[in-house]
Amino acid sequence: MPYSRLTRSRALAVPAVLLAVAIGATACGGHDSKSSAGPRADATAAKGGGQPAAAGSAAKISITPGDSTAGINPGVPVKVTVAGGTLAAVTVTPNGKATDGVTPVAVTGALDPAKHQWTSNRTMTPGTAYTVKVTAADSAGKQSAATSTFRTVAAVKVNGVTPTPLNKAVVGVGLPVSLAFDKPVTDKAAVEKALSITTTPAVKGSWGWLTDPLTGVQRVDWRPDSYWTPGTKVTLTARLSGIDTGDSRFLRRDIHDSFTIGTARISYVDLKAHTMRVTENGRTVKTFKISGGKPAFPTWNGKMVVLSKQSTVRMTSASTGIATSPDSADFFDKQVKYAVNITTSGTYTHAAPWNDAMMGVQNGSHGCIGMHTSDAVWFFDRATRGDLVITSGSTRATVDKGNGYGEWNLSVDQWRALSALA
């Protein structure tokens, strides 16, 4: 999949408002949708939606959906055609809020080369009244105008989406762009076609679909072919409002956000040598002793990404299914300090003063990477969401691609194969 890819239909898209400005025409006013209408609604639109065409203009406009139509599927395209002339301006704008209070999206579209047809190229917000305003001109330059107002069907079922990262964050070189869905998406291709990533400088990458093996949360991530370069500017545009994710479960909002790549912080954990070497921008800044997962509970192998960090986390053997009885040798219930989370299954780096004698000597944890408290403080203070932690030398399997951001354990070809558009 190409870098900074826009969908094909979007590449030719002309925002309706810009179309009006570029051609220098003024659209006419509209009115609210009232009820369903049949052929008469289209006939009204052809006459200008209740406004008379300029005397003698041969340009006859037709708009679909027709005027006063209700219950329109948000995925149905808006189409405007003209006979006996060319289109001068088309706008499709929402009238106020959607029925559930969401701010609806304006609709963009593309004009054919002959300027005889305009077709929308995105979905509309559910439960929203839209007004289409059109002007056209015949060969003599005489204008006609038409208006159509319709309403999209309200979303009985909705799907939510959580994007990462957000709010112009500065993140590490391993953090993909990620959209996690509240409910599984059936029509993955429809969602993926509505997504685009732009970067400065240009970066090659691809979307891929994943499911977290522990939580069952489905998401679609955009991962670059190789780690981000510090200083890269990344922008996500997700034109999701009105997409049916399956079984008439609609997405309701668009997403637009950007972030920047910060320090290239990559830490290498050798579970045989019991050491952790931290690098920043390719330079080793610290190496210290650690104790990983003991033979019965080994640490994951592979590439993991910092998800979050907390100064104190309660960790219990019962919550992980290791041991529920206080009489068990593997029972624990601890307030763990300086915890940096690297998998959703519960792998952390953290202070482990109870294992101080094991640091650099043997692996004695239940799967986490323990450190002397002073080293844990140092690493905690530096760790940033998106930093990479790469482990080797464990007897455990490589971390699953959906367990946190484990997708870095896939080759470029393996990752690209997870795209719904591959």
Give the pLDDT confidence of 4-54 residue by residue, as tens digits: 333 333 333 333 333 332 333 322 223 333 333 333 333 333 333 434 445
pTM of the full structure: 0.82
- Which active-site residues does the annotation give? 350, 368
Question: Within a 13 Å sphere around the CA of 339, how many CA atoms are in the beta-carbon half?
Answer: 16
CB 110 within 8 A of CB 139: no
- What's the CA angle centered on 109, arms 103 and 113, to 5 degrees? 170
- Residue 40: predicted pLDDT: 31
How many whole angstroms from its chain centre is CA 386?
A: 16
- In this prediction, residue 329 carries a pLDDT of 65
Stretches where the chain sits below pLDDT 50 are: 1-53
In this prediction, residue 327 carries a pLDDT of 63
Closest Cα to residue 107, out of 127, 92, 95?
A: 92
Position 387 scores a pLDDT of 98
3-state secondary structure of 23: helix
pLDDT digits (tens, 9 = 90+) for 269-282: 999 999 999 999 99
Rounded to 5 degrees, what angle do the CA atoms 155, 126, 39 make?
Answer: 110
- Cα separation of 369 and 290, whole Å? 7
Residue 203 DSSP label: -
Could you give phi then psi for residue 412, rounded to 5 degrees?
Answer: -60, -45
Burial of 73 (0-12, 13-18, 19+ CB in 10 A): middle
* Predicted local confidence at residue 12, as pLDDT: 31
Report all structural domains of the chain as residue ranges with CATH numbers, in order of start: 8-152 (2.60.40.3780), 157-263 (2.60.40.3710), 265-409 (2.40.440.10)
Beta bridge partners of 312: 337
Assign residue 12 a region (left: φ > 0; alpha: ψ between -120 and 50; beta: otherwise): alpha
pLDDT tens track for 394-417: 999 999 999 999 999 999 999 999
